[in-house]
Chain A
Amino acid sequence: MTEISLPTAPCSQPTPDKEQKAPISKQPVSGHDPIAELLPWYANGTLTPAELALVEHHLSDCLVCRQELEQYRTLDAACPTLAKQRDWQASSAHFARILQQLQAHEAVSTPPPTRRHLLETVSNWLQYTPKPIAWALALETITLATLLLTLAITTHPTAMPTFETLSDSPKPAIAGLSRVHIVFAEDITERDLRALLTAVHGRLVDGPSLLGVYTLALPAGHGNTPVALATLRAHARVRLAEPVAADAQP
Chain B
Amino acid sequence: MMGIAEQTQDPSIDVAGNGHEDLMLMRRIADRDTQAFETLYYGYAPRIGKFLMALLKYRELADEAMNDTMLTVWQNAGRFDPGQGRLASWLFGIAHNKGLKLLERQRRHQREETLDTVSGDYGQHEAEAFSAHVDVDNPERIVLGWELGDNLLWALEQLTCEHRAVLELTFTEHCTYQEIALITGCPVNTVKTRMFHARKKLTELLALRGYAVGS
Task: Tell me the B residues contacting A by CB distance below 8 Å.
Answer: 1-2, 9, 32, 34-35, 38, 41-42, 45-46, 49-50, 52-54, 59, 62-63, 66-67, 70-71, 74, 123-124, 127, 130-131, 136, 139-140, 142, 144, 148-149, 152-153, 156, 167-168, 170-172, 174-177, 192, 195-196, 199-200, 202-204, 207-208, 212-215
Are A98's CB and B213's CB within 8 A?
no
Contacting residues, chain A, for B212 (C-beta < 8 A) = 10-12
Are B170's CB and A12's CB within 8 A?
no
Are A11's CB and B170's CB within 8 A?
no
Contacting residues, chain A, for B192 (C-beta < 8 A) = 37
Contacting residues, chain B, for A24 (C-beta < 8 A) = none
A-B contact pairs, 14 of them (CB 8 A): A4-B130, A6-B203, A12-B140, A40-B177, A45-B1, A46-B174, A74-B148, A75-B167, A75-B199, A75-B202, A78-B171, A87-B53, A88-B46, A90-B45
Assembly CA distance A78 to B143 (angstroms): 12
Question: Which residue of chain B lies nearest to A212 when distances are taken between CB atoms in the complex?
Answer: B34
**What 1/0 flags go to A63-84 for Cβ under 8 Å of B?**
0000110111111101111111
Are B176's CB and A41's CB within 8 A?
yes
Are B214's CB and A79's CB within 8 A?
no
Question: Which residue of chain B lies nearest to A186 when distances are taken between CB atoms in the complex?
Answer: B35
Q: Looking at the complex, which one of B41, B67, B142 makes contact with A101 (CB distance below 8 Å)?
A: B67
Find the residue from A41, A43, A95 having the highest chain B CB count within 10 A.
A41
Are B49's CB and A79's CB within 8 A?
no
The 9 closest A-B pairs by CB, nearest first: A88-B49, A11-B212, A79-B171, A11-B140, A70-B214, A37-B192, A90-B45, A86-B53, A46-B176
Assembly CA distance A102 to B34 (angstroms): 11
Question: Which residue of chain B lies nearest to A109 when distances are taken between CB atoms in the complex?
Answer: B75
Asked if A235 is an interface residue, CB under 8 A from chain B, the answer is no
A211-B172 contact given A6-B204, A12-B142, A82-B149, CB 8 Å threshold = no
Please give 14 more A-B residue pairs, beta carbons under 8 A apart, in addition to A4-B208, A75-B171. Answer: A7-B203, A8-B200, A37-B196, A41-B170, A43-B171, A44-B171, A45-B1, A71-B199, A72-B199, A78-B171, A83-B172, A88-B49, A97-B67, A105-B71
Asked if A2 is an interface residue, CB under 8 A from chain B, the answer is yes
Q: From DSSP, what is the main secondary structure of chain B's interface residues?
A: helix
Are A71's CB and B53's CB within 8 A?
no
Interfacial residues of chain A within 176-203, with CB under 8 A of chain B in the complex: 186
Contacting residues, chain B, for A89 (C-beta < 8 A) = 46, 49
Expressed in whole angstroms, the minimum distance between the Cβ of B143 and any Cβ of chain A is: 11
Asked if A1 is an interface residue, CB under 8 A from chain B, the answer is yes
Assembly CA distance A98 to B74 (angstroms): 10
Are B172's CB and A79's CB within 8 A?
yes
